[in-house]
Chains A and B, each alone.
Chain A
Amino acid sequence: MTAPGATDAADRQPVISLRGVTRVYGEGEAAVHALRGIDLDIAPGEFVAIMGPSGSGKSTAMNIIGALDTPTAGTYHFSGADVGGFDRHQRSILRRDYLGFVFQGFNLLARTSALDNVELPLIYKGVSRAERRALAKAMLERVGLGRRLDKEPSKLSGGEQQRVAIARAIASEPAVLLADEPTGNLDTARSQEIMELIARLNREEGLTVIMVTHEPDMAEYAGRIVHFKDGLIERDGMNGNPRAPAPETADVH
């Protein structure tokens, strides 16, 4: 994953491709149309911010892209493969090997050390113990938590917890990082740090990032901003001058 920087979506096969995706919750009168028909292509190495009012279907779209949910209608291709035809097991493997998740609420395992949390996806991948340890340590160092390996989530600040979550998401070297309001629970300073981290992963390692955010400040880091409204894509445009992350710093405490 070295191809970075400015993207030209047109001449590469999209890593994610949604066509006419709808998602309806419930039936009949009570049915909620969370997505009403979405077309979205995301190329490898892109950093896409998804914005829009509450209830516009952002999380629903993320869940579908994350293979956690299936569309009511429409197709979803991941690197050309039709995810609609995947069974439960294949979707697990897709999540395990190609996708990394970062949630608003961190979603770390309680009473489990930072290191063990980061090791978890590697365990499921079947990586040997020694290799896994080394990888997880490297990931935690990468997010600036090299000296917090043994801490349990309850002993870490929100910003630190989100760093652990990011380390966990990138430990299995996914193709796409999915972040649903990663800074939603953090103060401005902490949010900036997390955004810098994510932006660096995108710029320096070519990691494809799709991030939902309510804050224009955070969206500024993305090269492309997609606006949702009432289950439809309202606007989809390039951010000509994305905010560049500061050069990498040492451990943050």
Chain B
Amino acid sequence: MFTETVRQAFQAIIRNAMRSFLTILGVIIGVAAVITMVTIGQGSTDQIESDVSKLGTNLLIVRPGAGMGPRSSGRSAPRFTLKDVEAIKEQIPGVIAATPANTSSMTVIYGNENHQATITGVDNDFLIARDWNVALGREFYESELRAGTATCILGETVRKDLFGAGDPVGETIRMEQISCRVIGVLEAKGASSFGQDQDDTVLIPIRTFLRRIAGNQDISSMYVAVEPGYSTEKVQSAIELLLRERRRISSGEEDNFSVMDTKEITSMLTGITAVMTGLLSAVAAVSLLVGGIGIMNIMLVSVTERTREIGIRLAIGATETQVLMQFLVEAVVLSLLGGLIGILLGLGFGYIGSIYMKIPFAPDWTTTFLAFAFSAFIGIVFGYFPARRAARLDPIEALRHE
């Protein structure tokens, strides 16, 4: 009996193929949107995790403000100074490198070529902390760092863009008002989270950055590398203690800076992705609901159109339950079909999106299953009312219906 009902439902759907498709369009879009969101969200999370893990487990990032993200007080909190960097390097055991890292986006010009790049003010410890080697040329000399000379080390992307196949070492590039001699080229590192290109950077001495670009002495963030074998957590709390003291934070007050290890960076970055994914999925879920209402609407129309058919079925002995089941199963089959198409489309869009965003393709099977189950649920909820209306029709009235 039940397989028979399902077979009849498919027949009815195929008979009105075009209308059936339009009916389930809402569900298709809703499910496809949810699956796409979740797939891309999961892909970004995976990407962030793998990127951050590439930073190494022994890296700490020090930033002003408590934490990051939407509620951070990063903008208003006082910055660090070069003295803070030195204090960390000298006073805390287990620190092998501590470097300022101020960044600014600027146009870099060489001859007729120009290129937008991130200018990072650092010292040589940056290369240790980020585990980054100079592939061509050399690091900064101590004297250059102390004097804040106009020298720079190019990331691979900047080099390729400005010099093509040529050797940039010894050449002079211009970054707005600064003319800067190229002393080296970094080895290529590749893309980072959200497709950001880490090689699209120019390193200059921090003092050069402060004097010629920032115009103040504020250090906006620091990288600290912990010597292998030392506990990252211990170093982390030592830095926190030291900075509290240096920044004169009394014991009752909260930190106005944060020291994060890579695990915390990961959770912070993926947290943002999760919020985004959640929000967009909620919007998608609403469209699923709207899709369900669409199904109800069309099922009601269908019941009216097929009143005579229902009358015939009732006359030859269909029970109320059998007619109810017929229309309910039809609604469920419809919305499941919508769910199925939506899942396939969503996985497709997720795949295309992941290629486009250079992140891993990470379909989430739990969500996929839930989307499928939810579309069945929608079919039952929104199919019930029209089905009940069909089942309760008066046979004579229905038979008389034109």
Contact = CB atoms under 8 A, between A and B. Distances in A.
Interface string A232-250: 0000000000000000000
A101 B316 contact: yes
B315 interface: yes
Interface residues of B, number: 20
B360 interface: no
Interface stretch (A8-16, A46-54, A86-94, A135-143): A86-94
A97 interface: yes
B396 A95 contact: no
Interface in B1-41: 1, 4, 15
A86 to B, nearest CB: 12
Interface in A193-236: none
Contacts of B318: 92, 96, 124
B1 A109 contact: no
Contacts of B233: none
Interface in A55-104: 63, 66, 68-69, 88-89, 92-93, 95-97, 99, 101, 103
Given A101-B315, A107-B312, A88 B320 contact: yes
Contact of B319 (A89, A99, A120): A89
Contacts of A68: 314-315, 395-396, 399
Contact of A95 (B15, B317, B320): B317
Interface string B308-338: 1101111111111110000000000000000
Contacts of A120: 313, 316
Interface residues of A, number: 29
Contacts of B15: 111
A63 B322 CA distance: 21
A156 interface: no
A108 B395 CA distance: 15
Given A63-B396, A69-B396, A124-B322, A93 B317 contact: yes
Nearest to B308: A107
Given A69-B396, A111-B15, A92 B319 contact: yes
Contacts of B317: 92-93, 95-97, 99, 121, 124-125, 172
Interface in B350-396: 395-396
Contacts of A101: 315-316
Nearest to B8: A123
B305 to A, nearest CB: 11
A126 interface: yes
Contacts of B4: 123, 129
A126 B317 CA distance: 11
Nearest to A67: B395
B325 to A, nearest CB: 11
Contacts of B311: 107
Contacts of A103: 399
A163 interface: no
Nearest to A103: B399
B19 to A, nearest CB: 14
B315 A107 contact: yes
Nearest to A66: B315
Contacts of B313: 120, 124
Contact of B314 (A92, A111, A169): A92
Contacts of B309: 109-110
A95 B1 contact: no
A107 B400 CA distance: 10
Contacts of A96: 316-319
Contacts of B314: 68, 92, 95
Given A110-B309, A169-B316, 4 more contacts: A92-B318, A111-B15, A123-B4, A124-B322
Interface of B: 1, 4, 15, 308-309, 311-322, 395-396, 399
19 contacts: A69-B396, A92-B317, A93-B317, A93-B319, A95-B315, A95-B317, A96-B316, A96-B318, A107-B308, A107-B315, A108-B312, A109-B312, A110-B309, A121-B316, A124-B313, A124-B317, A124-B319, A125-B317, A172-B317
Pick the 6 closest A-B CB pairs, nearest first: A96-B317, A92-B319, A95-B317, A121-B316, A68-B395, A124-B318
